[in-house]
Every structure is written in C-alpha cells, then in structure tokens.
Amino acid sequence: MAFAFHILGTSSSGNCSLLESKGTRLLIDAGFQGPRLETSLQKLGIELRALDGVLITHEHSDHCIGLPALLRQNPLLKVYANQETAHRIQATQKIKPFWQIFETGTTFSLGATEVTAIPIPHDAADPVGFAIDCPAEDHQPARRVTWLTDLGHVTPVVRHHAALADVLVLESNYDDEMLELSKRPLSLKQRIRGKHGHLSNIAARDLLLSLKEWQAVELYLGHLSKECNRTVIVDNLMQEVRATKSDLRVTVVDPLEEDPVSLW
C-alpha cells in the first residue's frame, strides 16, 4: 500500500483526513457528523475497521464529533490524544475509547509512521498540530506531512514545523473584511481574531512569505470559514507565495467540497 494522503474535509464545520503510509492507515481528526466519514472512506475503498488509529488535535466538535459513531463500528480503534483532550472528550461525548495518550511536544510511533505533537495556540484544553513522518517506500521518498489548523497566531514552534514539512496543511480561516462585516456577535469576532482563535488569510500568507528556507512541495490551505472566507480570495493572496517558490503546488480546499482532495 503506497503513500496516500486524502483530505476528506477541512472547514469550520468538519475536519478529517486519511493518511496511508507503508501499510499504516490513520485518520487526523474525526469531525464529521452522520454517515459522511464512512461514505468518504467508502469512496476510497477503505473500511472503518481497516484503520490503525485516529489522531485528535483538540476537543472542539468540528474535530471529534464523529468519534462515537466511529467507535460503535470499531470499538477497538486506537484514539491518540493528549490527557487534557482525552479528558474533555470523554466527559462530553460519554465514550471510553482505547485511548493512546501522548504528551504534547513529543514524538511517538504509530505503525510505520513517527508522529510529533506540535503545541498550537488555540482556545482548547491542550490543542496540537501533527507532523507525521512517513518512511520511503517503493519508488516514493520519505515525506513529512504536517497539519497546522486552529491556531490564533504563529509561534516559533509553528514556524519551525511549517518550514520542515514536505506536505503542509495550513489554516487560512478568514478574510478580515468579511469577518468584520459578518453578522456574527462581537464576542465571536473577537474570539476568532484573538491570539487563541484562528489564523487569518493574511497571517497564513505572511507566515509562508517569512519562511527563509522551507521544503514543502505541496501546500494545502484549509479550515476556511464558510461564512467569512472564499477560496478565490485565498488563492489570490497565495500568488505572492507561489512567486517565491516555483516548485510549490498550492491547493485551497473548498469548505463546501464533499469529495476527498487526494495526494497519491
């Protein structure tokens, strides 16, 4: 089974990705309600019981609301989270999965892959991003897939990990003007814009432009707000980034897209 990475969906209303590497199949988050997760995996010819584990970034529902349904179908599924996140999810969802507890900032093995849990600034108990090292196989090189969404600002650790990714998924949550003009209550606007909220399009672009040397060849902009963002706005902003890095492929993931965005 060769390397494959499928973003099944990433937006404020649901996040889930599937990574396959040398026989290991794992999900990053399980934030879909209803049958969408199973349907998405079926489209890829994968059954729920074929999963080796689920990595959970944090306890917000758009990242873990699908866990109970997943566990009903596969009660022995290993769910990887740090202690604080596991505690919050267990308390609200009334589930008792086969927790695999990791410590934020450390690296652990998950099948053929090595996973590093990256601390991120967000208004959750102990939120993380992930850098997943996938070994070389057949004619494919080793690759690092890095997932960085749900962050209020860019920290030195985030910058460090963004630069080391081969495949980078970065949050580009909102357009400043659309957020300002939206009918959302002021408190919510302040939360989103806050140091522990979400990354704006401008902040995502500025992070990428500020990287002196970075190795990503695939960049996905994700976790777009359906109300306060448009793919065309993000795409236009990324022109400057494309101009600085000719080998880079940029994909803005449409929050309305229900089909997987795949890298084989």
Query: How many chain residues bind Zn ion (CB under 5 A)?
Result: 3
- How far is 139 from 106, CA to CA, in rounded Å? 30
- The minimum distance between CB 110 and Zn ion, in angstroms, equals 22
Span between the terminal Cα atoms of the chain, in Å: 11
Residue type at position 74: N
Q: In what order do the strands lie in the sheet with 107-110?
A: 107-110, 113-119, 128-134, 143-148, 167-171, 218-222, 249-252
Assigned token pair, 31: 């934030």
- The minimum distance between CB 124 and Zn ion, in angstroms, equals 6
Single out the segment in contact with Zn ion by CB under 5 A; choices: 59-67, 101-109, 135-143, 234-242: 59-67
Nearby residues of 60 by Cβ (< 8 Å), 6 or more positions away: 31, 124, 150
Single out the segment in contact with Zn ion by CB under 5 A; choices: 53-61, 83-91, 201-209, 252-260: 53-61
| Residue 120: C-alpha distances to residues 25, 115, 131, 159 (Å) | 24, 15, 12, 11
Our CB check for Zn ion shows the closer of 21 and 57 to be: 57
Following DSSP, what letter does each residue of 153-185 receive, concatenated? S--HHHHHHHHH-SEEEEE--B-HHHHHHSSS-
- The minimum distance between CB 221 and Zn ion, in angstroms, equals 14
Single out the segment in contact with Zn ion by CB under 5 A; choices: 57-65, 89-97, 201-209, 253-261: 57-65
Q: Is 62 in the site for Zn ion (CB under 5 A)?
A: yes
- The minimum distance between CB 49 and Zn ion, in angstroms, equals 27
Cβ contact 171:60 at 8 Å:
no
Single out the segment in contact with Zn ion by CB under 5 A; choices: 60-68, 130-138, 176-184, 247-255: 60-68
- The minimum distance between CB 185 and Zn ion, in angstroms, equals 18
> What SS3 state is found at 188?
helix
Residues 140-169 that bind Zn ion (CB under 5 A): 150
**Nearest residue to Zn ion, scored by beta-carbon proximity:** 60
What is the DSSP code (8-state) at residue 48?
Answer: G
Backbone dihedral angles phi then psi of residue 210, each to the nearest 5 degrees: -85, -10
- The minimum distance between CB 150 and Zn ion, in angstroms, equals 4
Our CB check for Zn ion shows the closer of 110 and 148 to be: 148
Q: Is 254 in the site for Zn ion (CB under 5 A)?
A: no
Q: Is 29 in the site for Zn ion (CB under 5 A)?
A: no
Q: Is 60 in the site for Zn ion (CB under 5 A)?
A: yes
Residues 172-231 that bind Zn ion (CB under 5 A): none
- The minimum distance between CB 128 and Zn ion, in angstroms, equals 11
Residue ranges in contact with Zn ion by CB under 5 A: 60, 62, 150
